[in-house]
Amino acid sequence: MAQKLLFAVDFSPYTEKLLGCAGELAQVGLNDVALVYVLESKKHAEIGDHKNPAYEAEMRAAEEHLGELASQLEAEGMKVTQLLKHGSPSTEIVEAAKEVDANLIFLGAHGKGFLNRAILGSVSERVLKLSDRSVMIQHCKVLKDDGGFSCENACSSLFGNILVASDFSKYADSVKPVLLDLARTLCTPITLLHVVEGKSDMGYEPLDKYKKEQAKEQMEKLEEMSYELGNYCESVRFDVVNGSTPSAILAYAKEMDASLVILGAFGGRGATADLLGSVTERVVRKSDRPVLVLKAAL
């Protein structure tokens, strides 16, 4: 799986909680981490011959915070690079991923800090669209408690029960090496899912006989992949259901209590580009659990 992780931070109270996700990702070899923080461009202005004092103060504070976070990860045996950028958060995150040659970009979505639009509002939406790297979005359910706020469900057993949804387009081959690595490394339970578009928008429905015949090719591909994974781990199953693709994926993930949803490929270039928006973005927007969007083999 991926060897280099770009981890976007915003120094909110939830950042430390989300750092636990880096620890989980290290289980699959992702122990080389680049922490990136973006100073928004509106503060990056010069006053005469001097830089904006507010910008310089935030820069110093950011350098200190990055150092503290890096120390936490280094104490867990990870290699850490610190990146301090200024400009548009989404653009700088994408460029930082290229700079360090990251295979995976991690974004926390919790409604605070510069990721306050992270549920496909501005930052995550643009990162998903602009990046040629895979992107993982961790949804953090914010709860108020006596001590202030807490972040629930942040990478809790991230690889405990994985749902992989794919459209089995030619771009879906990116799924296979990732799943083989997961099966070899963790022997984690994996469910392979394909949705045949139907009229239902209330979740998913079992396939009737006619739909099963239509989905025969997809089922054969699922079965073939499950056999390959089964060489390493027996906890692999596959299913084909009928319904609105985003709703079906979300409903299936909830029913099986998936710890992670992997979107193998929904569209790509050309005629299928619209699917990348309509399926992937809707799943990421509405999911209450982490979603990994594969852009290429990790």
The pLDDT score that the predictor gives to residue 205 is 63
| CATH code, 162-293 | 3.40.50.620
pLDDT at 31 (0 to 100) = 84
CATH class of 4-152: alpha beta
* Residue ranges covered by each domain of the chain: 4-152, 162-293
Question: Which pTM does this prediction carry?
Answer: 0.82
Least confident of 112-121, 225-234, 289-298: 112-121
For a pLDDT cut of 70, what percent of the chain falls above it?
Answer: 68
Residue range 52-77: mean pLDDT, rounded: 87
Backbone angles phi, psi at 106, to 5 degrees: -110, 130
- pLDDT at residue 56, as a whole number: 79
DSSP-assigned letters across all residues of the chain: --SEEEEE---STTHHHHHHHHHHHGGGT--EEEEEEEEEGGG--EETTEE-HHHHHHHHHHHHHHHHHHHHHHHTT-EEEEEEEEE-HHHHHHHHHHHTT-SEEEEEESSSGGGTTTTTTSHHHHHHHH-SSEEEEEE-EEEEETTEEEEETSSTTTTSSEEEE----GGGGGHHHHHHHHHHHH---EEEEEEEE-S--SS-EE--HHHHHHTHHHHHHHHHHHHHHHTT-S-EEEEEEEE-HHHHHHHHHHHHT-SEEEE--S--SGGGHHHIIIIIIHHHHH-SS-EEE-SS--
Q: State residue 253's pLDDT score.
A: 96
pLDDT at 150: 56
Mean pLDDT of 10-15: 74
Q: Residue 269 pLDDT more than 70?
A: no
As a whole number, the mean pLDDT across the chain is 76
